[in-house]
Structure 1
Amino acid sequence: MRDFTFAADTLAAWTYHRATARWLFNASSGGESPPVVPGREDGALPWTPLPAPATLDATLGQAVRGRVSCRRFRTDPIPLEALSTLLALGYGVDGGAAVMQDRPVSSGGGLYPLEVTLLVRAATGLAPGVHHYVPAAHGLELLRAVELPRAFLTYLFMGQPWVAEAGVIAVLSFVGERSLTKYGDRGYRYALLEAGHLMQNLNLAAAGLGLGCVNLGGFYDDELATLAGIDVEREVPLYCSAIGVPDAEASDRMAMRALERGTAPS
């Protein structure tokens, strides 16, 4: 059996990696920070202010241990307060920040180039459809009121049936103008890292709230962007998570996952 090599077997990934690599003669700390680029919020759209986030009772250790992928959801809607807490802990703006709009994730240059869009099937106080999170105002604007059929969501996420059972699907997308103008192509790496930070916050907050989630990297990019109201020439979807009320406790989900893998739970 031939040995796998990064360069020969995954040419596109290798080309991207090498194109964004830094060495002595092309290394820099980046250009000047660009002017602040506003989010894609639209003040004319229907608006839902989110309630104040709840204080989580779970410790960090409990949340980390409870973070396990959920692939069985109940039909119960996600409470709006829980959704508010998820978004605030995931990518919300620090209300006490006087000048800098700090968020609960590290971000290259403090530019925060990500956007959060929700595909809502079942959440209290929200119409089914596509909602965009506005961190500075901590609220949701309704981009499109539409029922999201299970068959369509399963197709959109490349045949993953559990996605269509979740109450909400969070879509994290990257606005290139916010960071690529400062960091060049290296800024795309920073965006991927930031999306991971944001997603882990969502995962831990979900665990602390007793919700289930499963992270998603498999989806049809252009179709998802169209549904989410994203112009792919300026903004691209990177990462998603299906979130809902779990149909089993975290310990049971861990045991079921171990059985699927043929291993005993630790």
Structure 2
Amino acid sequence: MKRYEEQRVFLKSNFDEFKNVKTDKMKGIPEPSRTKGYDKSSKFIDLPEVNEGVLKNSNIHDCIKNRRSTRFYADENISIEELSYLLWATQGITQTNKAGLTLRTVPCSGATHSFETYLFIMKVHNLKNGLYRYLPFEHKLLFLSELDGIENRIDEITLDQPFVPNFTKKAAVLFAWSTIPYRSEWKFDTTAHKKILIDVGHVCQNLYLASESIGAGTCAIGIYDQKMIDGILGLDGDEEFVIYLAAVGKKQR
């Protein structure tokens, strides 16, 4: 029971602990970058402007009611317009306030937005299969690399899924959210980590509802090979690492 008790403490509000902490922000240490850098000579893909034309169902009541984890996908591409919408729905910037903080389509503790969105693309019209990163400030995709045998690599990454084995490689896109914890630690110190886990839940729920609205399905994935996926994406596994996955594809009719 002791190991349960230790983890249960993590689930509780730690505001009293935070009141006695002097954060790096309070110490005057410069804020970490709010976005991950990239080589300006990289290949970029302009995403279509987000609009309601991609919606199959704009009734939020129905989207909430019908939302399910979807593990069976049609052998069908999603459009780049639909992908643009899903990315905007999960990390899109809708406003920047006077302090320079980005306000997005998802809530986030202290507007720290510690996440980066990586994509394993397999079935998207007019996009080459491979690895990409979403750039929310520019609303563009950054092409990272091709990945030989991408479906099989995804199968290896997602290990033995308990309900429907091997379903992830049949999706159109695998979303992989990494966290750069110091973006939140700078402001919240050791209390940041609970906030990060809560915030990534907000992101994934938006993906579920947005997918439902375009006739697609999503399944969140918490069972995966940490070292393998961090290695494939070139992450150091400490200052940045994958924290959550979600498969997306058109639903079987």
Question: Does the alignment reach a TM-score above 0.5?
Answer: yes
Counterpart in the other structure of 2:36: 40
What is the deviation of 1:128?
0.9
Counterpart in the other structure of 2:49: 52
Segments of 5+ residues of structure 1 without an aligned counterpart are 249-266
| Correspondences of 1:1-266 after superposition (within 5 Å) | 5=1, 7-8=2-3, 10=4, 13-14=7-8, 17=10, 22=14, 24=16, 27-28=19-20, 31=23, 32=25, 34-42=30-38, 43-55=40-52, 56=55, 57-94=57-94, 99-160=100-161, 161-248=166-253
Matched letter for residue 13 of structure 1: Q
Per the alignment, do residues 181 and 143 of structure 1 end up closer, same or farther by CA in structure 2, a change over 3 Å counting? Answer: same
* 2-structure distance, mates of 1:46, 1:12: 46
The one-character-per-residue Cα deviations of 1:196-217 (angstroms, maximum 9, x if unpaired) are 0010011100000111111100
Matched letter for residue 143 of structure 2: L
Work out whether residues 122 and 168 of structure 1, in 8 Å CA contact, stay in contact via their aligned partners in 2.
yes
* 1-structure distance, mates of 2:219, 2:116: 19
* 1-structure distance, mates of 2:51, 2:243: 28
* 2-structure distance, mates of 1:139, 1:215: 24
* 2-structure distance, mates of 1:112, 1:60: 25
Greater shift in the superposed pair: 200-209 or 140-149: 140-149
* 2-structure distance, mates of 1:80, 1:97: 29
- Corresponding pairs, count: 240
The one-character-per-residue Cα deviations of 1:110-159 (angstroms, maximum 9, x if unpaired) are 11111110011111121111100000000100111224443332221012
Matched letter for residue 111 of structure 2: G
Q: Provide the identity percentage.
A: 21
Counterpart in the other structure of 1:256: none
Work out whether residues 143 and 229 of structure 1, in 8 Å CA contact, stay in contact via their aligned partners in 2.
no
Rg larger in 1 or in 2? 1
Segments of 5+ residues of structure 2 without an aligned counterpart are none
Per the alignment, do residues 30 and 120 of structure 1 end up closer, same or farther by CA in structure 2, a change over 3 Å counting? Answer: farther
